[in-house]
Amino acid sequence: DAVLDAGFFTSWIVEAARLVRAEKDRLTRLDTAIGDGDHGTNLDRGLSAAAAALAERRPAVPGAVLALAGSTLIRKVGGASGPLYGTALREAGRTLGESPEVSPAELARALRAAVDGVRSLGSAAEGDKTMVDALAPAAGALARAVQEGLDLPAALEAAASAAGAGARATVPLEARKGRASYLGPRSAGHEDPGAASSALLLRALHTVATR
Ligand code: ADP
Ligand code: MG
Ligand code: MG
């Protein structure tokens, strides 16, 4: 069975930073429609700083990789998404503790802890048109796939697809949390930028698992 080490999680952050940079303009367009137009630059800045911090400090265990990435996002991203993603990563890291290697089942538990962290900090429920709408279905899909005995690439494919579908399903919704909620009914008709970036983070996780 697959075991995931600090190198795997570091590669994930590097791939996430690459993908977010490639999709930065789309994230910014989405946030221009229903927010303040900074989500692409916020996340690009935060993730590239996280990748740089990991390259410099080289944490030895997965939990420490996620903790450092999370703290860096909180420090470098002024917007709502910095503390939310930062908390998600730190909560996931805390779940993994000091183990040098993580199983797919432990990864599924860590993703669940990440979602719970976002939910308790942002008090958003599914359907509020936030990143939770992508992260929660991804956590559910990963837990089910691991439970059913799928291998890691297949399980992460299920998680990434669920996140993408969850993000697309935010289009018709009216935002009830974050800046977009100020628009009320006018927030409907656009994908939530944070849900879109969460789908990218899950896609990046699948990509590194297939290498
Ligand atoms: P800001 O809105 O401060 O400019 P960003 O543009 O970087 O920050 O991030 C916006 C995204 O953050 C939203 O699209 C949404 O997904 C997410 N978000 C905002 N508030 C909340 C919340 N209370 N709970 C969960 N997610 C939230
Ligand atoms: Mg914004
Ligand atoms: Mg902002």
- Residue 50 placed within a domain: yes
Burial of 65 per CB tally in 10 Å (0-12, 13-18, 19+): buried
- The CB of 190 under 6 Å from ligand 1? The reply is no
CA of 25 to the centre of ligand 1 (A): 17
CB atoms within 10 A of CB 55: 11
Q: Rounded to an integer, what distance in angstroms lies between the CA atom of residue 76 and that of residue 95?
A: 23
On whether the CB atoms of residues 144 and 172 are closer than 8 A, the answer is no
- Residue 47 placed within a domain: yes
Residues of the chain with pLDDT under 50: none
On whether the CB atoms of residues 31 and 131 are closer than 8 A, the answer is no
Looking at residue 91, which CATH number applies to its domain? 1.25.40.340
CA of 80 to the centre of ligand 3 (A): 7
Q: What is the pLDDT of residue 2?
A: 82
C-alpha closest to that of 94 among 75, 71, 77: 71
Q: Whose CA is nearest to atom 11 of ligand 1?
A: 194
On whether the CB atoms of residues 98 and 60 are closer than 8 A, the answer is no
- Residue 1 placed within a domain: no
Q: What is the pLDDT of residue 1?
A: 67
Question: pTM of this prediction?
Answer: 0.98
C-alpha closest to that of 2 among 161, 154, 141: 154
- The CB of 118 under 6 Å from ligand 1? The reply is yes
CA of 136 to the centre of ligand 2 (A): 21
- The protein residues having their C-beta less than 5 angstroms from ligand 3 (an ion) are 36, 38, 79
Tokens 């979602």, located at residue: 115
* pLDDT tens digits, 133-162: 999 999 999 999 999 999 999 999 999 999
Q: What is the pLDDT of residue 78?
A: 86
Count the domains in the chain: 1
Residue 131 Cα: closest atom of ligand 1? 16
| 46: containing domain | 6-209
- Residue 109 placed within a domain: yes
- Residue 12 placed within a domain: yes
Q: Whose CA is nearest to atom 4 of ligand 1?
A: 79
- Residue 15 placed within a domain: yes
Q: Could you give phi then psi for residue 102, rounded to 5 degrees?
A: -125, 135
- Residue 204 placed within a domain: yes
Residue 34 Cα: closest atom of ligand 1? 14
- Residue 35 placed within a domain: yes
